[in-house]
Amino acid sequence: MTKKLLILIGLAIGLLCQGQSYVRHNGQFVSNNGNKVRNSSGTVDEEVTNMISNGTFDSGTYWDLTGAVTISAGGANVTLAGGANIGQSDVNMVTSLLPSTAYTLQFDITIVSGNAYISIANFAENITYVVYDSYPNGTNSKQFTTPEDLYGGGIIIHGNETSSDNPYIVDNVVLTAD
Protein backbone atom coordinates (compact mmCIF):
# COMPACT_ATOMS: atom_id res chain seq x y z
CA MET A 1 0.00 0.00 0.00
CA THR A 2 2.80 2.42 0.92
CA LYS A 3 4.64 1.67 -2.31
CA LYS A 4 1.52 2.44 -4.41
CA LEU A 5 0.94 5.68 -2.50
CA LEU A 6 4.53 6.79 -3.10
CA ILE A 7 4.24 6.04 -6.82
CA LEU A 8 1.01 8.07 -7.05
CA ILE A 9 2.57 11.00 -5.18
CA GLY A 10 5.62 10.86 -7.49
CA LEU A 11 3.41 10.91 -10.58
CA ALA A 12 1.39 13.85 -9.23
CA ILE A 13 4.56 15.83 -8.48
CA GLY A 14 5.90 15.07 -11.96
CA LEU A 15 2.72 16.38 -13.56
CA LEU A 16 2.76 19.55 -11.46
CA CYS A 17 6.37 20.30 -12.38
CA GLN A 18 5.94 20.03 -16.13
CA GLY A 19 5.67 23.08 -18.37
CA GLN A 20 2.33 24.10 -19.82
CA SER A 21 1.43 21.84 -22.73
CA TYR A 22 0.82 23.46 -26.11
CA VAL A 23 0.31 22.37 -29.68
CA ARG A 24 1.59 24.05 -32.82
CA HIS A 25 -1.72 24.80 -34.59
CA ASN A 26 -1.94 26.76 -37.86
CA GLY A 27 1.46 28.34 -37.20
CA GLN A 28 0.72 29.43 -33.61
CA PHE A 29 0.98 27.80 -30.21
CA VAL A 30 -2.30 27.19 -28.45
CA SER A 31 -2.86 25.59 -25.04
CA ASN A 32 -4.36 22.17 -25.49
CA ASN A 33 -5.33 21.61 -21.84
CA GLY A 34 -4.39 17.97 -22.27
CA ASN A 35 -6.62 17.50 -25.34
CA LYS A 36 -5.61 16.57 -28.84
CA VAL A 37 -6.07 19.36 -31.39
CA ARG A 38 -6.69 18.48 -35.02
CA ASN A 39 -5.58 20.75 -37.83
CA SER A 40 -7.51 21.47 -41.04
CA SER A 41 -6.21 18.29 -42.68
CA GLY A 42 -7.61 16.20 -39.80
CA THR A 43 -4.25 15.12 -38.40
CA VAL A 44 -3.31 15.70 -34.76
CA ASP A 45 -1.08 18.74 -34.24
CA GLU A 46 2.41 18.37 -32.80
CA GLU A 47 2.49 18.70 -29.00
CA VAL A 48 5.19 20.97 -27.58
CA THR A 49 6.14 22.10 -24.07
CA ASN A 50 6.50 25.74 -23.12
CA MET A 51 10.04 26.28 -21.79
CA ILE A 52 8.91 29.47 -19.99
CA SER A 53 7.60 29.25 -16.42
CA ASN A 54 4.46 31.29 -15.78
CA GLY A 55 4.23 32.65 -19.34
CA THR A 56 0.71 33.89 -18.57
CA PHE A 57 2.00 36.22 -15.81
CA ASP A 58 -0.45 34.95 -13.20
CA SER A 59 2.01 36.46 -10.72
CA GLY A 60 5.57 37.80 -10.70
CA THR A 61 6.95 34.36 -9.86
CA TYR A 62 9.91 33.29 -12.05
CA TRP A 63 10.21 36.73 -13.71
CA ASP A 64 12.91 39.39 -13.26
CA LEU A 65 11.72 42.89 -14.11
CA THR A 66 13.81 46.04 -14.55
CA GLY A 67 12.76 49.50 -15.58
CA ALA A 68 9.17 50.68 -15.85
CA VAL A 69 7.45 47.30 -15.90
CA THR A 70 5.03 45.66 -13.45
CA ILE A 71 2.99 42.48 -13.47
CA SER A 72 -0.74 42.88 -12.94
CA ALA A 73 -4.02 41.65 -14.40
CA GLY A 74 -2.26 38.66 -15.99
CA GLY A 75 0.30 40.59 -18.03
CA ALA A 76 3.65 42.37 -17.90
CA ASN A 77 2.71 46.05 -18.16
CA VAL A 78 5.45 48.20 -19.70
CA THR A 79 4.66 51.84 -18.97
CA LEU A 80 7.79 53.34 -20.49
CA ALA A 81 9.63 51.57 -23.30
CA GLY A 82 13.05 52.99 -22.40
CA GLY A 83 15.07 50.22 -20.82
CA ALA A 84 12.21 48.00 -19.62
CA ASN A 85 13.24 44.34 -19.30
CA ILE A 86 11.00 41.30 -18.86
CA GLY A 87 13.37 38.41 -18.18
CA GLN A 88 13.56 34.83 -17.03
CA SER A 89 16.86 33.25 -16.04
CA ASP A 90 17.66 29.71 -17.18
CA VAL A 91 17.32 28.58 -13.54
CA ASN A 92 13.66 29.70 -13.54
CA MET A 93 12.83 28.27 -16.96
CA VAL A 94 11.17 24.85 -17.33
CA THR A 95 14.07 23.85 -19.63
CA SER A 96 17.27 25.79 -20.36
CA LEU A 97 18.26 26.93 -23.83
CA LEU A 98 20.83 24.73 -25.56
CA PRO A 99 23.67 25.70 -27.92
CA SER A 100 23.07 25.57 -31.70
CA THR A 101 19.34 25.03 -31.32
CA ALA A 102 16.44 26.65 -33.18
CA TYR A 103 13.61 28.12 -31.08
CA THR A 104 10.33 29.95 -31.59
CA LEU A 105 9.24 32.64 -29.14
CA GLN A 106 5.58 33.64 -29.32
CA PHE A 107 3.98 36.39 -27.23
CA ASP A 108 0.95 38.64 -27.24
CA ILE A 109 1.31 42.42 -27.33
CA THR A 110 -1.54 44.70 -26.31
CA ILE A 111 -0.87 48.31 -27.16
CA VAL A 112 -3.14 51.34 -27.27
CA SER A 113 -1.44 53.00 -30.24
CA GLY A 114 1.61 52.39 -32.41
CA ASN A 115 3.88 49.38 -32.03
CA ALA A 116 6.11 47.96 -29.32
CA TYR A 117 9.78 48.21 -30.35
CA ILE A 118 11.69 45.41 -28.62
CA SER A 119 14.58 42.97 -28.94
CA ILE A 120 15.05 39.44 -27.63
CA ALA A 121 18.31 38.45 -25.93
CA ASN A 122 19.75 35.99 -23.46
CA PHE A 123 19.31 36.78 -19.76
CA ALA A 124 22.82 38.29 -19.40
CA GLU A 125 22.06 40.50 -22.44
CA ASN A 126 25.40 39.68 -24.06
CA ILE A 127 23.84 37.67 -26.92
CA THR A 128 21.06 39.21 -29.03
CA TYR A 129 18.78 36.58 -30.56
CA VAL A 130 16.47 39.01 -32.36
CA VAL A 131 17.50 42.62 -33.06
CA TYR A 132 15.12 45.48 -32.29
CA ASP A 133 11.97 45.24 -34.31
CA SER A 134 8.49 46.71 -34.30
CA TYR A 135 5.72 44.44 -32.99
CA PRO A 136 2.04 45.25 -33.59
CA ASN A 137 -0.96 44.60 -31.40
CA GLY A 138 -1.80 40.87 -31.29
CA THR A 139 0.12 37.59 -31.32
CA ASN A 140 3.73 37.87 -32.49
CA SER A 141 6.23 35.14 -33.19
CA LYS A 142 9.99 35.15 -33.80
CA GLN A 143 12.37 32.33 -34.59
CA PHE A 144 16.03 32.34 -33.59
CA THR A 145 18.96 29.96 -33.23
CA THR A 146 21.29 30.02 -30.26
CA PRO A 147 25.05 30.23 -30.92
CA GLU A 148 27.23 27.15 -30.58
CA ASP A 149 29.17 28.72 -27.69
CA LEU A 150 26.05 29.52 -25.62
CA TYR A 151 26.70 29.21 -21.91
CA GLY A 152 23.76 29.77 -19.62
CA GLY A 153 20.81 31.27 -21.29
CA GLY A 154 17.50 32.54 -20.11
CA ILE A 155 15.58 35.11 -22.08
CA ILE A 156 14.94 38.86 -21.98
CA ILE A 157 12.30 40.84 -23.83
CA HIS A 158 13.83 44.31 -23.87
CA GLY A 159 12.08 47.60 -24.69
CA ASN A 160 14.17 49.99 -26.80
CA GLU A 161 15.28 53.26 -25.20
CA THR A 162 14.76 55.21 -28.46
CA SER A 163 11.22 54.08 -29.19
CA SER A 164 8.21 56.24 -28.47
CA ASP A 165 6.85 55.92 -24.96
CA ASN A 166 3.76 53.92 -25.88
CA PRO A 167 2.74 51.69 -22.96
CA TYR A 168 2.10 48.05 -23.85
CA ILE A 169 1.34 44.70 -22.22
CA VAL A 170 3.20 41.44 -22.89
CA ASP A 171 1.34 38.19 -22.17
CA ASN A 172 1.11 34.51 -23.12
CA VAL A 173 4.86 34.02 -23.62
CA VAL A 174 5.63 30.61 -25.17
CA LEU A 175 9.16 29.42 -26.01
CA THR A 176 9.63 26.08 -27.77
CA ALA A 177 12.46 24.22 -29.43
CA ASP A 178 11.77 23.75 -33.14
Domain residue spans of the chain: 21-50, 51-177
Residue 27 or residue 118, greater confidence: 118
Q: Is the pLDDT of residue 8 over 50?
A: no
Alpha-carbon gap, residue 88 to 52, rounded angstroms: 8
Chain centroid offset of residue 72 CA: 17
H-only helix segments in the chain: 2-17
Say how many C-beta atoms besides its own lie within 10 A of residue 34's C-beta.
Answer: 8
Q: Yes or no: say if 82 and 159 are a contact pair by the CB < 8 Å rule.
A: yes
Q: What is the pLDDT of residue 151?
A: 77
In tens, the pLDDT along 106-153 reads 999 998 777 788 889 998 888 999 998 888 899 999 999 999 998 778
How far apart CA 114 and CA 68 sit, in angstroms, is: 18
**Which amino acid, residue 81?**
A
For domain 51-177, give the fold. Answer: Jelly Rolls (2.60.120)
Q: Is residue 3's pLDDT more than 50? A: no
